[in-house]
């Protein structure tokens, strides 16, 4: 491949090759992508930190964290830096010892990573990725809701999940949402998860919505709730100010990460 790809394009190509072959070698990637061995090693190290792969001698392999849900891994790349900034802001609002409900989604996944700076958190989640990411933190207690599983998008749902969730109360519900509108409120693509999201809101003292500005003004397939139950929406500075003002008038605090 002539010339060196830009960093995002190069790392995207690495993940495509990893998904296809199950493993990649530094030497082969260097030749295929027209990048130095040092650059490829740096790429693999960065992708490992973000949970995409596991480094091996001379290359990398898929891990159980990402093998079963590579579609989820691809979606994590969209607006990644913005999502990470939102996630860091959300994690700063949490305190040691809090109990959290966390739903599935790429922004809540990045929030889970940021939460590792805390101690003694109790986490109840229907996200397989969040549970795996936080399950080995020594001071955390992590409960993955049982029930049916959506393997493509890495979450659990259904009557068993609802029954288990009904046993818990939380300080915060941290929700990744597909649509935020002044009129229709919160919406999500997955009807089966909207019920879980709504229960998390009802059983938490405060609800933090973590959603980038591309979700603003968008109405997805299934309604979760109106905006009355939302304490704070954390988004980015590209959000339309006229729409955010209308949302703020509903009593929602808006934080720009």
CA 58 – CA 125 distance, rounded (Å): 36
Check whether residue 82 and residue 121 sit in a common domain: yes
Spatial contact of 154 and 69, defined as CB atoms under 8 Å apart: yes
Q: Give the per-residue pLDDT at 178.
A: 93
Check whether residue 155 and residue 46 sit in a common domain: no
pLDDT tens digits along 87-120: 999 999 999 999 999 999 999 999 999 999 999 9
Query: What's the whole-number mean pLDDT along residues 65-76?
Result: 56
CATH number at residue 52: 1.10.10.10
Check whether residue 84 and residue 208 sit in a common domain: yes
For residue 179, pLDDT over 50 is answered with yes
Q: How far is the first Cα of the chain from the last one, in angstroms, to the nearest whole number?
A: 37
Q: Write out the residue range of the structural domain in which residue 24 sits.
A: 7-63
Q: Give the per-residue pLDDT at 72.
A: 62
Per the structure, how many domains does the chain have? 2
Check whether residue 98 and residue 160 sit in a common domain: yes
Model's pTM, two decimal places? 0.74
Check whether residue 54 and residue 94 sit in a common domain: no
Residue 130 forms part of a structural domain = yes
Residue 83 forms part of a structural domain = yes
Check whether residue 95 and residue 18 sit in a common domain: no
For residue 212, pLDDT over 90 is answered with yes
pLDDT cut 90: percent of the chain above it? 77
Check whether residue 85 and residue 26 sit in a common domain: no
């Amino acid at each position: 491949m002539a010339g060196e790809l830009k960093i995002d394009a190069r790392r995207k190509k690495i993940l495509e090759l990893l998904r296809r072959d199950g493993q990649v070698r530094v030497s082969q990637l260097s030749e295929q992508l027209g990048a130095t061995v040092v650059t490829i090693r740096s790429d693999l190290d960065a992708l490992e930190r973000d949970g995409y792969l596991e480094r091996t001698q001379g290359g990398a392999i898929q891990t159980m964290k990402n093998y079963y849900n590579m579609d989820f891994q691809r979606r994590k790349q969209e607006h990644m830096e913005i999502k990470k900034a939102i996630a860091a802001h959300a994690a700063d609002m949490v305190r040691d010892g809090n109990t959290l409900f966390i739903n599935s989604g790429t922004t809540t996944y990045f929030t889970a990573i940021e939460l590792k700076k805390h101690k003694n958190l109790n986490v109840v989640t229907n996200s397989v990725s969040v549970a795996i990411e936080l399950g080995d933190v020594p001071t955390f207690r992590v409960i993955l809701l049982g029930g049916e599983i959506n393997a493509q998008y890495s979450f659990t749902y259904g009557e068993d999940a609802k029954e288990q969730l009904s046993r818990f109360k939380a300080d915060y519900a941290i929700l990744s949402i597909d649509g935020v509108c002044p009129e229709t409120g919160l919406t999500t693509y997955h009807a089966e998860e909207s019920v879980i999201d709504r229960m998390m809101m009802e059983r938490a003292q405060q609800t933090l919505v973590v959603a980038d500005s591309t979700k603003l003004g968008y109405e997805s397939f299934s309604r979760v709730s109106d905006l009355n139950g939302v304490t704070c929406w954390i988004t980015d500075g590209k959000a339309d100010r006229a729409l955010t003002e209308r949302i703020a008038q509903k009593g929602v605090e808006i934080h720009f990460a």
